[in-house]
A and B are shown apart, each in its own frame.
Chain A
Amino acid sequence: EAGVVQSPRYKIIEKKQPVAFWCNPISGHNTLYWYLQNLGQGPELLIRYENEEAVDDSQLPKDRFSAERLKGVDSTLKIQPAELGDSAVYLCASSLTRNEQFFGPGTRLTVL
């Protein structure tokens, strides 16, 4: 069974530029999550989808971040414009049940 796929793995951009991350969850997993992880910290939830509906986006900075999950499968997370403080690892996860989330390898974003 294929795991959660994320691309790109690494991205370096200059501040004020836009950036997008893509995630393909495990087949059949209705729930998809986007997390942000800073060095030395645990993941912090940005947004959770149930199928194509964003059911929890309370932690998403909506002035610059946006996400979509068209057709309830793949998802894209966008930052526009990026700021220096957005440098972090962006993790995508999916789950079938409440209890266990499966993570992709993450995208390491560096904003210069």
Chain B
Amino acid sequence: DQQVKQNSPSLSVQEGRISILNCDYTNSMFDYFLWYKKYPAEGPTFLISISSIKDKNEDGRFTVFLNKSAKHLSLHIVPSQPGDSAVYFCAASGDSNYQLIWGAGTKLIIKP
């Protein structure tokens, strides 16, 4: 039973355009959501997070939107750059628990 789902295994976007990565979750107890970025042969690196008390968090080119009623969050990257090509993981935690539940990841490819 996947509690965090990233339904797009891969996404290809033109450089300079907007990249939108999606994530759905099923557990209503999740109250904190994170996005991680992973390059090959490296561990995931933290990108941006959002608490369930918010519906938007922005950090430079990266914005995360949370729709609690739909149990859906998305990561927007504007403008997309070649260095953004990586695998992006969505993760969630809840109930003051340190455990992160991870999605399967979406491979983002930025085309020049």
Interface set of A (CB-CB < 8 Å, partner B): 4, 31, 40-45, 48, 56, 91, 93, 95, 98-106
Is residue B102 within 8 Å, beta carbon to beta carbon, of the partner chain?
Answer: yes
Q: What's the A-B contact tally at a CB cutoff of 8 Å?
A: 56
A98 contacts which chain B residues (CB < 8 A)? 32, 93, 96-98
Interface set of B (CB-CB < 8 Å, partner A): 4, 9, 32, 34, 36, 41-46, 49, 89, 91, 93, 96-100, 102-105
B46 touches A101 (CB 8 A): yes
Decide yes or no: A105 and B43 within 8 Å by CB, A42-B102, A48-B99 being known contacts.
yes
Specify the chain B residue showing the minimal Cβ separation from A106: B43
B98 touches A103 (CB 8 A): no
B41 touches A40 (CB 8 A): no
Give the one of B32, B42, B100 with max A CB within 10 A. Answer: B100
Specify the chain A residue showing the minimal Cβ separation from B91: A42
Q: Which of B34, B41, B102, B103 contacts A100 (CB 8 A)?
A: B34
Q: In angstroms, how far is the closest chain A Cβ from the Cβ of B61?
A: 19
